[in-house]
Amino acid sequence: VLTVNIAPLKSNQQIEGYVYVLHDITEQHKLDAMRKEFVANVSHELRTPLATIKSYVETLLYSDVDAEYLKRFLKIIDSETDRMTRLVKDLLLLSKMDSEDKNLKFEHKNLNEVIIDVINRLSIEAHKKNQKLIVDLQETPRHVYIDKDKMEQVILNLVTNAIKYTPENGMIKVITEYDENFATFIVEDNGIGIPKEDLPRIFERFYRVDKARSRELGGTGLGLSIVKQIVELHKGEVNIESEVGKGTIVRVKLPYQ
Ligand code: ADP
């Protein structure tokens, strides 16, 4: 998209020429459209659980509900409240990282230890689905320079996704590899996979392959965009390979410094 400003150059009432100023506003339009889409998405994502909560609360207030239904409705209200809390937490995290003051606290850390901490927290989830959680960590020659909390969030989001999108009895592998310049960790699963056409957009905020499934599993649609943003703040790279029905491999490559 181009806008053109034309200003005639005059001398003694006679036009001697024109100055054309061309502005390329494609980027600006794109940013505007993205911002609008983001606000619409946030509103929608917040309204959906609110509408559910409201309707169950109204039923409880104005109808006679027996004990069994009372419990069932309260459980739904509870899980929708949890989803809103997660959503607001994810949005705050993203907005903090968007702002000037990112407030990252870098320190030298053993990546293997950070991974083991997160895996210990998640092993119960995998166990509930009878999934095999394999951890294969190469001995690290050097410490990585990371914001530990943020990197924990990256590992948490990736392993949580692997657990969520892999059926019962599946397998999840977490691997580290170290070379001269990079520390790499890989989260691999043999779950449902991602269709090829969705892969290019998978790191966008609120992009999901299957909205209903993501919601059902408690997702916010922000997990991978948070991963990408944090990894890039560490000057690293994240990429994803996937095949429907076979599984997904996410690789995060971090420079040591
Ligand atoms: P969500 O909260 O929906 O899980 P994410 O940003 O973490 O959001 O992921 C975006 C979408 O990518 C998910 O909705 C899901 O469709 C797909 N996805 C992410 N990780 C995996 C995976 N390991 N296997 C299959 N699909 C995945």
Q: What is the ipTM of this complex?
A: 0.98
Are 104 and 230 within 8 A, CB to CB?
Answer: no
pTM across the whole model: 0.86
Atom of ligand 1 minimally distant from the CA of 215:
3
Question: Could you tell me the two tokens for 82?
Answer: 């949890």
Instruction: Find residue 172's DSSP bridge partners.
Output: 133, 189
Check if the beta carbon of residue 221 is closer than 8 Å to that of residue 45: yes
Distance (Å, rounded) from C-alpha 1 to C-alpha 104?
A: 37
Q: What local confidence, expressed as pLDDT, does residue 30 receive?
A: 85
Q: Using a 6 Å cutoff on CB, does residue 248 contact ligand 1?
A: yes
What spacing in Å lies between the alpha carbon of 222 and ligand 1's midpoint?
Answer: 9
Nearest CA to ligand 1 atom 14: 208
Whether residue 219 is predicted with pLDDT greater than 90 in this model: the reply is no
Pocket of ligand 1 contains residue 229 by CB under 6 Å: no
pLDDT tens digits, one per residue of 80-127 = 999 999 999 999 999 988 887 777 899 999 999 999 999 999 999 999
For residues 6 and 19, give the distance between their C-alpha atoms in angstroms, rounded to a whole number.
6
Q: How far apart are CA 18 and CA 10, in angstroms?
A: 9
Cα of 252 vs centre of ligand 1, distance in Å, is: 16
174, 233 Cβ separation under 8 angstroms: no
pLDDT at position 2, please? 66
Query: What pLDDT score was predicted for residue 234?
Result: 96
Candidates 87, 37, 48; CA nearest to 201 is 37
